[in-house]
Homo-oligomer: A and B are copies of this chain.
């Protein structure tokens, strides 16, 4: 029996056991700041398969000054990271399997058909906040490693399981793991991609624009300057910049994406009285950042476009648009399509599903962006259902969890290589 068959058989034999673990995990309400007990369980599981474990609370002071640090929190007590390392025998490539345990709030319970943390199974789907994003993926990573260990397989390279906090708020958990020295030759992050391979992940940066005007009574509006009318010029400049940035891309993975790197204007607010000329309009939005650029470069290009508005309308020479960067920031990430990990994952997918995987560029960021910043090529590939992340009635197909686990196990063997001494 070849390895694939053995892996499949082992997973099949343990389906009920694994399903119960996922039910248990989903019932842990791991909102930001409430991850402690869940991470203890994860740590025990890692120990149960003889991984070298590291359980630590992220130290705010030692990380808050880092240029990639991004979090609304000022204290990570009660929010530990867990890393479990399967040390290889040497001479092979190492691989990180990274997943976050924090979940977003479940929102209005009335929008859920069942309790948001039920863990109930209906028609092969397991329900609950966080099961798609991304405890199902985390379980797939664990199953892959456990299965290989159960089968007595020995690898040349290390496999590093990272169970991290704070992805939803900007990646402080993964950053802390990287800073603690948990690096590798590549990473797979089983976020909910519905088994589509994402070798490109769009980063993003939130901005706030303040457009100035001069107040006046509406009946003599020509005595003022409308910040709202000036905002139209700003909106058009944002649209032009988006067009320029996307025309420049020639990555074939973006061929069929209408706007690979969108600049979204998500909020506008200005003026306070129908019959006054508004003297300020505030726009807020999200700047998509491409895998081939840095957040800093994208910010600079955006700021330059706003600074250049004075050439379109001299008003902006004396009243430049104020650009603020705020809130979350996701680093863009990705992997070179020439990297053997991409081919290995594709091959494993084909071996399991008897068809080629879909390959896409992701329109959102993951902790893979932080990995990429540390020189670790990262792929996003997981079992969850994309559209259900952050939504009521979030669930996952259990079959997908197990097939992703199988694909991961085969990919690990290919990448880290069997030790045949």
Interface residues of A (CB under 8 A from B): 202, 204, 206-208, 217-222, 226, 228-229, 231-232, 235-236, 239, 258-259, 262, 264-278, 281, 284-286, 288, 327, 362-364
A285 touches B206 (CB 8 A): no
* Inter-chain contacts of A204 with B (CB < 8 A): 218-219, 275
Known: A220-B363, A232-B235. A277 touches B264 (CB 8 A): yes
* Inter-chain contacts of A262 with B (CB < 8 A): 218-222
- Nearest-neighbour CB distance to chain B for A192, whole angstroms, equals 13
CA distance A219 to B287 in the complex (A): 9
* Inter-chain contacts of A231 with B (CB < 8 A): 268
A284 touches B278 (CB 8 A): no
Q: Which residue of B lies closest to A390 (CB)?
A: B217
Q: Which residue of B lies closest to A233 (CB)?
A: B232
Q: Which residue of B lies closest to A265 (CB)?
A: B228
CA distance A267 to B217 in the complex (A): 13
B267 touches A273 (CB 8 A): yes
CA distance A146 to B234 in the complex (A): 60
Known: A218-B204, A228-B235. A268 touches B266 (CB 8 A): no
26 CB contacts below 8 A, A to B, read A204-B218, A218-B262, A219-B262, A219-B264, A219-B286, A219-B363, A221-B262, A228-B268, A229-B265, A232-B236, A264-B276, A264-B277, A265-B278, A266-B271, A266-B273, A266-B274, A266-B277, A267-B272, A267-B274, A267-B278, A268-B268, A268-B270, A269-B269, A274-B286, A274-B327, A275-B286
CA distance A361 to B86 in the complex (A): 85
CA distance A226 to B263 in the complex (A): 12
Kindly list 14 other residue pairs between chains A and B, CB separation below 8 angstroms, not including A217-B364, A266-B274. A204-B218, A217-B363, A218-B264, A220-B363, A221-B259, A222-B259, A264-B276, A265-B271, A266-B272, A267-B273, A267-B278, A268-B270, A268-B278, A268-B281
Partner of A222 from the list B219, B235, B258 (CB cut-off 8 Å) is: B258
* Inter-chain contacts of A276 with B (CB < 8 A): 264, 266
CA distance A206 to B206 in the complex (A): 34
B206 touches A275 (CB 8 A): yes
Residue from A217, A262, A266 having most chain B Cβ neighbours under 10 A: A266
Q: Which residue of B lies closest to A264 (CB)?
A: B218
Q: Which residue of B lies closest to A261 (CB)?
A: B219
Residue from A221, A228, A262, A277 having most chain B Cβ neighbours under 10 A: A221
CA distance A286 to B363 in the complex (A): 41
